[in-house]
Amino acid sequence: MQQSVWPELDELKQELERVCELPRTGDEPLLTTASLAVTQATTALTRTAQLRGREAEQARAAALSAVEKARLALSQARTAILAAENRRQQVQRRGGTPPTEDSDKPGLAGHVEATCTACGRPFVVRYRYAKADATTVFPVSCPEPACDGTANVEYPTTAFQVEASPR
Ligand SMILES: [Zn+2]
């Protein structure tokens, strides 16, 4: 590997690479900030090389402060990414933390009351559906074991997991 005149810069770029290799870095704004800080430090160091004497000294001091900032930004990005990944894993271990009771199941919940045309017993048809668009009328079997009657029930065309139970 080529030896750089700026070991600080090499260090920064390596750290940036390592942070970018962490899982799911895409949604971390601090990483964008850190990348920008590394770019600024690079620019500052490059400028230093083109100057001489007193100006170079001042530029060098500014560049080192930019390197410091970039280092800090990278470390914050790394912490944030790891913390986010940690939270994700904890949620997964708990089997998900649904904000509402049904949110771990797909779609929306709906139900409709029906009456069996054969035995006359009322029952409830519960279903889940993707969206409330058109409805369809469909015969649903009576939940009463001894009855093989049906009731015509109207529910969304996107309904699934349709279940009838006695009321
Ligand atoms: Zn029935």
Interval between CA 160 and ligand 1 midpoint (Å): 22
pLDDT band at residue 105, thresholds of 50, 70 and 90? low
> What is the distance between the alpha carbons of residues 142 and 121, in angstroms, rounded to a whole number?
8
120: left (phi over 0), alpha (psi -120 to 50) or beta: left
Biggest distance spanned by C-alpha atoms of the chain: 101
Interval between CA 118 and ligand 1 midpoint (Å): 5
Interval between CA 35 and ligand 1 midpoint (Å): 68
Interval between CA 126 and ligand 1 midpoint (Å): 16
Most confident of 38-47, 91-100, 101-110: 38-47
pLDDT band at residue 144, thresholds of 50, 70 and 90? very high
pLDDT digits over 33-90, tens only? Answer: 888 898 888 888 888 888 888 888 888 899 999 999 999 999 999 998 888 888 888 8
Q: Is the pLDDT of residue 121 over 80?
A: yes
Give the pLDDT confidence score for residue 108 in this predicted structure: 82
Burial class of residue 13, CB neighbours in 10 A (0-12, 13-18, 19+) = middle
| Beta strands in the chain, from DSSP E residues, in sequence order | 108-115, 122-129, 135-141, 150-156, 159-166
Give the pLDDT confidence score for residue 101 in this predicted structure: 45
Return the C-alpha torsion angle 145, 149, 152, 154, nearest 10.
10
Q: Is the pLDDT of residue 116 over 50?
A: yes
Give the pLDDT confidence score for residue 1 in this predicted structure: 45
Interval between CA 64 and ligand 1 midpoint (Å): 82
b vs e for 99-112, b when ≥16 Cβ sit within 10 Å of the residue's Cβ?
eeeeeeeebeeeeb
For ion ligand 1, residues whose CB falls within 5 Å: 116, 118-119, 142, 144, 147, 149
